[in-house]
Chain A
Amino acid sequence: MAVEQQTTPQAISPPARRSRAETLAMVRKVWPWVFLVFMITLFTIAARVMNDTNFLSQRALQGILLYTTQILLLGLGETMIIIAAGIDLSVGYILGLSAVVAAEIMKYMYAQGYSPWLVVPVGMLGGILVCIIPGYINGWLVAKIKVPPFISTLGMGYAVFGAALLISGGYPVAQQPPYLGQIGNGSIFYLWLSNGISFFKAPAEAQGPELQNVIPLLPNVVFITILVTIVCWYILSKTQFGQHLYAIGGNFQAAVRAGIRVQRTIILVYVMGAVLAGIAGALWAARFTSGAADAGEAGQLMAIAAVVIGGASLFGGEGNIIGTVVGALLIATIQFGLVVLGMQPFWQFLAVGVVVIIAVIVDQFGRTLE
């Protein structure tokens, strides 16, 4: 074993003069990670200096992950759509629609006295399934009617926002079942120091000050987002559908001539983007025990930002899920970091905007040198 380990590096090295293009590709892949580490370091120091808090605490890191979930859920669909040379400006509003519909269903069913085991799944599923409609229309407009996706999804965004406002009457949908918040804000594991682990609920014996010692690990919402991310990663990188998205974004005509069912694929990818937004909306309703039409406002822009930071090309054909995960983590870190530092939330937009512009510059720079 030891001998093998010694000889292997010799066998592969030295890597014969890596080409410039490869180096650039590396830089483009790696910079968001480097930037992420840099931001975390920066916030850690700033938090220590400015208000003597620990940015690297377990609580803070979970906070970042929670912030990440919404950006990422929207970003996953957006990644696939952008790879197919499209864009979806409606997903943030679709998130709001899902949250409103889910909340309305749960409010109604709870008032009717249905069991929690029915109320929550039916409500969430209802919110998610409704999103198939705008997603399908988006895809249909782009694939069949050939409306530029920028325009069709912008229009769809406003239409969906209007629909969600009408359904909710313009107010947050309150009067939710009390257990909803436990699900939305609960965690998979509860680590009670010195007393072991329990699942889904803090141990009942832990009372009063003892609760301080119970550490929730892996929030449900984060767990679900991780599962969904894995599924999307699999779809994009391992399946024929994923491969066809790359082909359509890379060379539309080639995809058509190769016999790929281009229209069907495009419709499907917009439906997927909408369903993912629907999942994000249902989770939003659970976390905030409410539904609001503007729950995901500006969400699509954050999602697109994450995708671009992750190395996708807005011209299509390039991008991947891992990149979007980093992009979403980076944006969430900035958002959360600024909150921890006690800055006004408006700074978030400014900061994210700057990072997106950096991402585009890195991308452009790489392309021109290539």
Chain B
Amino acid sequence: MQKHFLVLVEDRPDDIDLTLRALKNNNIVNDIVVLRDGVEALDYFFATGKYADRNLDEQPAVVLLDIKLPKVDGMEVLKRLRANEQTKLIPVVILTSSKEERDVINGYQLGCNSYVRKPVTLEEFSEAVRNLGLYWLLLNEPSPQPVLR
């Protein structure tokens, strides 16, 4: 049985708080792991650096990934996740400010499962987070972990 938890990769503290608040207010009480830049995200997913003793059998039900991140950007994180056998099936939702066509196309080409633009008003933002939470944590059936030889 997999644990249904969510990973949020986001560098802006305000956005982290607003996202966590929206999840809480919408009664989504699953565990949430917050990663604050691209390097930390890669460390987490590949159990390196400060996440060296993390159990790689436990993967999140969904990753909410911002594009603009310090050090390594979101697109690069997505590319590395998709290039690795063990992480390539993890659902990734790009959650970002930009709706530039090239970002959207690039995101889908790199294999994101969904692309959501953060709305400015809190009501819309909260609604977006609620929908994402309900869909990916409750409705969606994640792929079983690939068996590695």
A-B complex is real: no
